[in-house]
Structures are given as structure tokens and as C-alpha cells.
Amino acid sequence: MSTNKKSSTLSEIAKIAEVSVMTASRALNNQPGVSEEKRAEILRIAEDMGYVANRIAQRLSGGKSRVIGVIAQLHTLYTSDLVLGIGSALRSSKYEMLVYSLSDTDSQPPQAIVSLLRQFVDGIIVILPFQSDYLVSLSDADLPIVTIDEGPHNNFPKIVADNYQGARLAIQHLANLGHRRIGFISGNNQLASARDREQAFRDMQAQLGLDTDPELVASGNFLQQGGFNAAKELLRLSDRPTAIFAANDISAVGAMAAIRDAGLNVPEDISLVGFDDVAVASQIYPTLTTVKQPSAQMARAAVNTIVAMIAGIEPASSIIVLPTELVLRASTRPLGEVVAMPNSKRPRHIKNRISPAG
């Protein structure tokens, strides 16, 4: 067993091995210029003393820190899923992850964090980049940046889910159930994901011949309260929708509360579909039909991209789109159906395939 009470330095193990620090450095970094015997001995001694290289010093002397910075708002499950995914994708690499958690009111980190990251990390993954001005200065400083989802003026390589197709699947599903009057609760339109979902809604309205009153679009903000308020608006309409598609699950949860608050039931009176498939979607009652984002794959793609960029390889494409799929649960039902429907024990999954717009 190695003891590492006092974290030994390179010069210490060099002294014990009776070599120069440079030889020790070369041996430990697997670089040429050391005989095999010396290398083995140095490695043995280092192991013995529990030596771990000081990454602060390595970084200062011009090297890499092998740390990836992640900037995220941690108070939503969806974001946490991605962070966890990044962590596990990174586990098989030689990089570590440190996360800066944006508060729910901030759209960008304080200047101190920005310069700290610039000084310390080798690359940055930004989840839901509501704002990206501050990222430009980092990028100018040769720091590789990858974003998950797309914010305004986002010229960095980005990983996104196929929000447009996912939303189409959701609307198609509601239409298949006979719904013609479908309300939409929008998200935060700073994000391309929100815009894409809304665009899909509008396109499908036209394509499928759904009701198109402008009042059928209520603006949310991806938060529960926003979903609640938006649903309230939709329910106040004289001719109220028979189904609602919320731009994300949290909005849908808010909408569900609003619907219940109005004395109505999901799905008996109103069908409801969300987006993301966060944990709460399968935990609430009724369980929520939603569009699943491939967060694990997105995280992996982000990691692969940033690692490649750190290695100096420019990514082949500046955007990677991953497929979404519809997850059917208990919050949707055919229009007008009155027969009691047992809780479906296991949700069915529908792959992201839809006939092209004709």
C-alpha cells in the first residue's frame, strides 16, 4: 500500500532515485530519453511514495490540467442527467470534470469564474447556453468549447436532440388520438430547442389541418410556474383545447396542476404531452406521455467532441443531432373516449420515425 500523507514532489523522488528531476519527469510521462531500468525504478519509487503529479504546477508550466469545466444550471433534473452523463463518459478518459452551477436567476457565470476556468480547465461544456457572450472571450483565448443545446449566436460545436422531429411525434400522436384543438405551452425562446419545438407545432398545425387560433400558443418559460400560468390561459379560452403539448416536462407538470385546479382531469378532459422525459414524468400521476431526449448519448457526444478538440482535432461538423423518441404513458387518450383505461404498466416506445412532410 502506498502512503500519501504529504504528497511528495518530483524532486523528492528524483533524489531518491539518484537521477535528475527531468529524468524522473520523462520516466513518469512515458517519454523517451530514459533507459528501461531507470524508468522502472523511478516508477517503482513513485508508486511507493504515492506520488501524484501536481496538476497546478503542470498547468502553470504550460501543460494541460486534464480538467473539463461544465457550466450548468443544476436545479433541473434534465440538466443533472446531462451532467451525470458527462461524468460517466469522462470516467473512461483521462479527464476529470468540475461543474460550475449557475444559479436559477443567472444566465452566465460571474467574471471570476470565467477567468478561473480560463486559467484552469482544458475545455468547457456548456449545458443550455442561455447566453454566450462570455463564452466568446474564452473561445478567443483558445479554450475549446462545446455546448449542449443551442443558445443565441452560438458558433461553437453543439450537441442537440432532434427537437423538431420529437415535437412532431408528439403532435402527430395527439392528432392520431383525434385531437384537433391542441394548445401549446412554449419554452424559453432564447434556446433553439424551444424555438424548434414551437416551429414543429406550428408546422404540424398547418400540415395536419389542426385549429390554428393564435391563442392556442401560450408562453411558458420551461419552468413549472410558467407552465401553470400558460395552462390557465389556455383553459380560460371560450373554446378550450382538448389536448396540450408543453415544451418540456416541468411545464407539463405545472399545466397538470392548473388543469386539476380548474376541476378538470388528465387525460379524461385534457390530454397532456411533455418533452424531455425527466424522472418526474414517470413519477407523477397520471404518468406523463413525453418525448425522450437521449441525454446519455448527448453527454457522450459532447465529451467526445471536447476531447477531440483539446487534442487539436476540429470537429467534422459543428452540430450533432441525436434522435428523440416518444414515450407513451397515461396522460394522453383518444378524444371523447370514456371507457376506464387501466394504468399501462409499461410505457411503449416509438422510435423517431415519422413520414416526411408531404
Partner DNA sequence: CGAAATAACGGTAACGCTAACGTTATTTTT
Partner DNA sequence: AAAAATAACGTTAGCGTTACCGTTATTTCG
Site stretch for DNA (CB under 7 A), options 55-63, 135-143, 187-195, 254-262? 55-63
Rounded CA Rg of the chain: 26
Interface with a copy of itself, residue 40, by CB under 8 A: no
Interface with a copy of itself, residue 88, by CB under 8 A: yes
Interface with a copy of itself, residue 110, by CB under 8 A: yes
Interface with a copy of itself, residue 118, by CB under 8 A: yes
For the chain, the straight-line distance linking the first and the last C-alpha, in angstroms and rounded, comes to: 68
Site stretch for a copy of itself (CB under 8 A), options 122-130, 182-190, 256-264, 313-321? 256-264
Interface with DNA, residue 141, by CB under 7 A: no
Look at residue 36 and give its three-state secondary structure. helix
Interface with DNA, residue 92, by CB under 7 A: no
> Which amino acid appears at position 159 of this protein?
I
Which residues are within 8 A (CB) of 133 and not within 5 positions of it... i.e. 6 or more apart? 108, 153
Return the C-alpha cell found at 2: 502506498
20 binds, among DNA, a copy of itself, none (CB under 5 to 8 A by kind): DNA
Contact between 234 and 207 under an 8 Å Cβ cutoff? The reply is no
33 binds, among DNA, a copy of itself, none (CB under 5 to 8 A by kind): DNA
Q: Tell me the C-alpha to C-alpha distance, in Å, between residue 94 and each of 20, 33, 80, 89.
A: 27, 24, 22, 11
Within the chain, residue ranges assigned H as helices are 10-17, 21-28, 36-48, 55-60, 77-91, 111-120, 133-140, 163-176, 192-208, 224-236, 249-261, 279-283, 295-310
Task: Output 62 or 358, the one with its CB closest to a copy of itself.
Answer: 62
CB of 10 to DNA, least distance (A): 3
Task: Output 20 or 265, the one with its CB closest to DNA.
Answer: 20
What would the x/- binding string for DNA be over residues 18 to 37, using CB under 7 A?
xxxxxx-x--xx--xxxxxx
CB of 142 to DNA, least distance (A): 13
Q: What CA–CA distance (Å, rounded) separates 137 from 128? A: 18
Q: What CA–CA distance (Å, rounded) separates 204 from 169? A: 10
What would the x/- binding string for a copy of itself be over residues 46 to 75, using CB under 8 A?
------x-xxxx-xx------x------xx
> Which amino acid appears at position 156 of this protein?
F
155 binds, among DNA, a copy of itself, none (CB under 5 to 8 A by kind): none
104 binds, among a copy of itself, DNA, none (CB under 5 to 8 A by kind): a copy of itself
Contact between 225 and 261 under an 8 Å Cβ cutoff? The reply is no
Q: How many other β-carbons are positioned within 10 Å of the β-carbon of residue 69?
A: 26
Burial class for 92, CB neighbours closer than 10 Å (0-12, 13-18, 19+): exposed
19 binds, among DNA, a copy of itself, none (CB under 5 to 8 A by kind): DNA
Which residues, numbered 35-54, are part of the site for DNA (CB under 7 A)?
A: 35-38, 51, 53-54
Contact between 258 and 183 under an 8 Å Cβ cutoff? The reply is no
Please report, as ranges, the residues that interact with a copy of itself according to CB under 8 A.
4-7, 52, 54-57, 59-60, 67, 74-75, 77, 80-81, 83-84, 87-88, 91, 96-101, 103-104, 110-113, 115-116, 118-120, 137, 140-141, 224, 253, 256-257, 260-261, 279-280, 283-285, 343
